Amino acid sequence: MSIVRKFGDLLIGDKLSGMKIRDKFSSAKIGEKLSGVKIVERINDDMLFMLTYMASISTADIERDRIFDYAGAQKEYEASEHFCQIYTLASKWGYEYSKACKYLSQKLTDRYLSKFFGRMANIISSGEPEKNFLKHEKVTLGEIYSNEYERGVESLRKWTDGYTALMVSLTLVVTIILISVMIYEIGNIETVAFMIVVLVMFTCGMALYIIYKSTPSEKKLHSLQHKSREQEQIERLTRILLPLGIGTVIVLLFLKTEIELLLLTVSLFTLPIGALAMIDDSKIDERDNSFPAFIKTLGTLAGTTGVTINCAMENLDKETVGCLETAVGKLHQGLSMGLKSTLCWEKFIGETGSELINRCSKIFTDAVELGGDPAEIGSIVSSSSLEIVLLRMKRKLVSSGFRWLAIILHAVMVGLLIFVMEIINKFSSLITGMSESYSMQGDMQGMSQIGMSMFNVGDKMPFLYKFTFAVVLVLTISNAIVVKIVEGGGNYKFFFYGGVMSGISGLSIIIIPPVVSKIFTFNV
């Protein structure tokens, strides 16, 4: 047996050392080295739901083997692989669970997981039931996760303020460069403009990276085959509008169409998809808000009366579950017809479109099927889901204000750049007209005295327009991405903010030049 254990140590040790351990709080060392500032670590709710699952199934008083076996089988959680390794050590290599937990705790680089398995090893050695330990750990981790999430939101608030100031500064720098070209004779203007565009791209990229690393990491939409009605509509629209939009843009590029028309075309094909994504995101928020009360009430009814979940739903007042009323009604109808409960719950989860409901519902149904107390399970699941809902509300306070600020700021920045360019163009046209007038009169000395030749940038105007439009394009992409990162949610929201920012940029390029021409009218 000792030879077998030594061989197991070597095998498992090599596997652990060669395996990439995923941290629950993943570090941002690359960002710290690049930016010179400390970035708040992105936090993950996987371990919170992993402990919620284990605490729930432990209420059924099942064997220790089955707890670790079921925990290791939950592949949607990153930490499940560690529980699977402990189960393998105990069931196949003859290790005691306490020694297996102790062994793994010494191999992990994640500080929380290392200490967690160390505490679990001590608890198992002392003979205390896993149920009490897992409940306590779940509550403790919930407090840690809430604290880290709130710190992330507070950091996000500061970085969004910094992003706003940074974008204003970049716009002022570009504006100064444009005015400098008109006043001073810059030898290699192409090189200067290229460096400014690269600087704007680099600055926006760094700002986006820092904000991305500062935001709490969470998955809001599930990836199941059956989806909500809005998600199905989004997929159908995407299959139609996205290829059509890409083809249209390619044709317009081939025809050398003006950039404002390209931006409006992008907006035209992306906004319908984005609008549905925003509607779906709002409905998911409403369903997630209603779920904790629903699952706790359902568990209480089933636990106190000693009936099945289906019978408990008959006594459940459907009007008290909020926007889940329709989905709960279909779930009850399917269970009453004798359909397989797994399929009924999968359809219920799919129609909600929520990853939170997906995880919590599976935890609830698995624990109840194993024979756990529905009332206790409902309370455990409800508390975990409620924590997530409340934390999302705090994040929404920051993201909702920043969203409108970013949209308005984008309109102002793009409008200012186009406005300055048009003024330079009008002024250059005025200088050109005056130069021609003096040339016809033969008064070249008068022209040089007023320094009109210095302000004549007519030959540079096409290049300056390209330079300005390049900066506008970078700002459009950056501002669309940053709002989505701050808000979180599904990736389809990129289409909404991309369409909004593109539309604002295109309309600014179309509307502002005629306005400037009407305001600044010179008689030469």
The predicted-structure confidence for 470-480, as pLDDT tens digits, reads as follows 999 999 999 99
Closest C-alpha to 512, from 483, 472, 480: 472
- Alpha carbon 164 to its chain's center: 19
Quick one: which of 61, 81, 59 has its CA closest to 71?
A: 81
Task: Tell me: pLDDT of 11 over 60.
Answer: no
**Closest by Cα among 414, 426, 425, 413 to 506:** 414
Residue 18 has pLDDT above 50, yes or no: no
Q: Is the pLDDT of residue 225 over 70?
A: yes
Asked whether the beta carbons of 480 and 474 are under 8 A apart, the reply is no
Q: Which of 96-110, 175-189, 309-323 has the lowest mean pLDDT?
A: 175-189
Round to whole Å and give the CA distance between 308 and 194.
69
pLDDT of residue 164: 92
Please give the average per-residue pLDDT across 158-170, as a whole number. 91
Which of 337, 272, 329 shows the shortest CA–CA distance to 496? 272
Residue-wise pLDDT for 239-272, tens only, equals 999 999 999 999 988 988 888 899 999 999 999 9
Q: Each residue of 165-182: pLDDT tens digit?
A: 999 988 888 888 887 776
Q: Say which DSSP state 23 is in.
A: P
In angstroms, how far is CA 98 from the centroid of its own chain? 39
Task: Give the pLDDT confidence score for residue 187 in this predicted structure.
Answer: 64
Close Cβ partners of 87 (under 8 Å, ≥ 6 residues apart): 65, 68, 69, 71, 72
pLDDT at residue 33, rounded to an integer: 34
- 338 dihedral zone (left: phi>0; alpha: psi -120 to 50; beta): left
Provide the percentage of residues in the chain whose pLDDT is more than 90.
34
At residue 9, does pLDDT exceed 60? no
Instruction: Report the alpha-carbon distance of residue 154 to residue 142 in Å, rounded.
Output: 18
DSSP 58: G
User: Please, which pLDDT band fits residue 438 given cuts at 50, 70 and 90?
Assistant: low
* pLDDT value, residue 377: 92
Mean pLDDT, residues 319-347: 86
Cα–Cα distance for residue pair 481/495, rounded to 1 Å = 10
Structure tokens at 16: 């652990």
Check residue 493 and give its pLDDT.
92
CA dihedral 39, 42, 43, 46 (to 10 degrees): -160
What span, in angstroms and rounded, lies between the C-alpha atoms of 145 and 52? 13
Taking the C-alpha atoms of residue 268 and residue 249, their distance in angstroms, rounded to an integer, is 11
Residue 39's pLDDT is what?
A: 42
CA distance 366 to 342: 10
Residue with tokens 């044709």: 251
pLDDT at 451 over 50: no
What the block records as the tokens of 441 is 């009169």
- Which pTM value belongs to this model? 0.83
If pLDDT is split at 50, 70 and 90, which confidence band does 449 have?
very low
Mean pLDDT for the stretch of residues 224-241:
90
AA identity, residue 251: V
| Helical spans, DSSP H, in 93-188 | 97-107, 111-126, 130-183
Q: How far is CA 450 from the centre of its chain?
A: 56
Q: What are the beta bridge partners of residue 25? A: 43
3-state helix, strand, coil in the chain (%, to 5): 80, 0, 15
